[in-house]
């Protein structure tokens, strides 16, 4: 069977590209060997946000008496939220399949591999297409250490049948940070094992210092400059051997959150002449074109910004160009906003202070505001807010916008539009503040 476009991978980027191509009249197909929706829907953004919200509710319940409510909280049922969450994801899987049908996109279930630059095999059937898009995403990295089979990854987190009493998480990125906050908020004893001494390296240091300090203050434990060397099963518990500290005993779950690798296994890309980089990611130009001109790649498999909206935008731009007549259409990877659902959450866009100084030297100017949210003025619990603007030049163009604190995840979207449009500090200053809100601090900094 012949198609105009075959998409290998039914995640967000691939689905967006296929549906957009179909809108232009292209005959499209999506090949997926697992569940539709990819990492984000099944073991990423969506179920993670459900669990983050669950842990936030625990915080609100703690604060409720300070607001005059006589709350009788009789405990937390992990099984209940897991069942509700899993049912929600199952509904989304069905919705994705229905949407493909409505868009007249063929859904081919199975494992795909290339037979040539324009031919793909799925089981005993062969399909040919003028264009092929690789959108197979990524998978968690598991180090080769003794006992690694006793650990779980971010995928396994969503399979846990109960809340662990004691959990060790290794990793310093956003996944490790988010899982630590969620589990601790729900009552687990959480120990983080970091290979170096800082969470979220690469993000603005002011923000990362606050999140790490706040996590320590709330009770998350850190073992720094360390890594696991062996995981030992001891009955129903685990013992975690470390290279630079005493072992950690009586652990219920050990979670690897040390990064992700491209999901290209079994694709047979070499037959199609598709180049991979030294880490195995598919190499593309700014138009998502691989080393084989009719084969493209979007999303996590490219090693670029691993965010769902990025994959979606790149996939749509690709179909706009190939099938919609928009000859120059491609995604601009500069100034992409992102959020970390930590405790408290982080919103960030543009350059960090370190990156800005490396690029512009002393030509930058920094504005910051640190305060206690009004919400915490009458509570026994307090969580900090810090906001930061980084500007460059005499006209103070905003090149970095960062916030940590309650509602950061919602606030950053609006300000990212301004930064993307090239706003100057004076544009922020000339905007009337909405009082009393957290976001008003971005337009009142001096």
Q: Which residues are catalytic?
A: 435
Angle CA 321–326–327, to nearest 5: 75
Torsion angle, alpha carbons of 233, 234, 240, 243, to 10: -90
Q: Which residue has 């899993």 as its token pair?
A: 86
Among 34, 109, 113, 129, CA closest to 274 = 113
Which tokens hold the place of 205? 């240091």
Q: Which residues contact 377 (CB under 8 A, 6 or more apart)?
A: none
Let me know: does 402 contact 387? Beta carbons within 8 Å. yes
Q: How far apart are CA 152 and CA 159, in angstroms?
A: 9
Tell me if the bond preceding 136 is cis, omega within 30° of 0: no
Q: How far apart are CA 164 and CA 149, in angstroms?
A: 18
CA-CA-CA-CA torsion sign (262, 89, 333, 7): positive
Torsion angle, alpha carbons of 348, 352, 355, 358, to 10: 150
Tell me the residue length of the chain.
446
CA-CA-CA-CA torsion sign (73, 74, 77, 78): positive
Which tokens hold the place of 342? 């930590």
At 401, give phi and psi (nearest 5°). -140, 115
């Amino acid at each position: 069977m012949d198609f105009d476009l075959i998409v290998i991978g039914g995640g967000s980027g691939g689905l967006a590209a296929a549906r957009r191509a179909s809108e232009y009249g292209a005959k499209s197909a999506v090949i997926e060997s697992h569940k539709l929706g990819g990492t984000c829907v099944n073991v990423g953004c969506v179920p993670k946000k459900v669990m983050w919200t669950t842990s936030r509710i625990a915080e609100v319940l703690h604060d409720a008496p300070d607001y005059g409510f006589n709350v009788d909280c009789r405990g937390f049922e992990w099984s209940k939220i897991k069942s509700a969450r899993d049912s929600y994801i199952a509904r989304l899987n069905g919705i994705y399949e229905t949407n493909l049908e409505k868009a007249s996109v063929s859904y081919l279930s199975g494992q795909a591999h290339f037979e040539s630059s324009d031919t793909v095999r799925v089981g005993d059937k062969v399909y040919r297409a003028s264009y092929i898009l690789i959108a197979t995403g990524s998978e968690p990295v598991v180090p080769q250490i003794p006992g690694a089979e006793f650990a779980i990854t971010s995928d396994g987190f969503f399979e846990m049948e109960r809340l662990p009493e004691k959990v060790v998480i290794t990793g310093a990125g956003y996944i490790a940070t988010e899982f630590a906050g969620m589990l601790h908020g729900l009552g687990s004893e959480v120990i983080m094992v970091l290979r170096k001494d800082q969470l979220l390296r690469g993000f603005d240091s002011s923000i990362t210092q606050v999140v790490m300090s706040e996590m320590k203050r709330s009770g998350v434990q850190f073992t720094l400059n360390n890594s696991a060397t062996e995981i030992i099963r001891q009955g129903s518990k685990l013992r975690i051997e470390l290279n630079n500290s005493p072992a950690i005993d009586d652990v219920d779950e050990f979670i690897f959150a040390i990064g992700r690798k491209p999901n290209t296994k079994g694709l047979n890309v070499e037959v199609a002449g598709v180049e991979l980089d030294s880490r195995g990611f598919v190499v593309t130009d700014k138009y998502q074109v691989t080393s084989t001109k009719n084969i493209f790649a979007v999303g996590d498999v490219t090693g670029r910004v691993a965010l769902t909206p990025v994959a979606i935008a790149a996939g749509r731009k690709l179909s706009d160009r190939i099938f919609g007549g928009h000859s120059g259409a491609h995604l601009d990877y500069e100034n992409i906003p992102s959020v970390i659902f930590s405790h408290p959450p982080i919103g960030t866009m543009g350059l960090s202070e370190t990156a800005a100084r490396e690029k512009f030297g002393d030509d930058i100017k920094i504005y910051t505001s640190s305060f206690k949210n009004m919400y915490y003025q009458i509570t026994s619990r307090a969580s900090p807010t810090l906001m930061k603007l980084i500007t460059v030049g005499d006209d103070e163009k905003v090149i970095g916008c960062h916030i940590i604190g309650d509602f950061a995840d919602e606030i950053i979207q609006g300000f990212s539009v301004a930064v993307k449009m090239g706003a100057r500090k004076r544009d922020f200053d000339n905007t009337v503040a909405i009082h009393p809100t957290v976001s008003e601090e971005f337009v009142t900094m001096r």
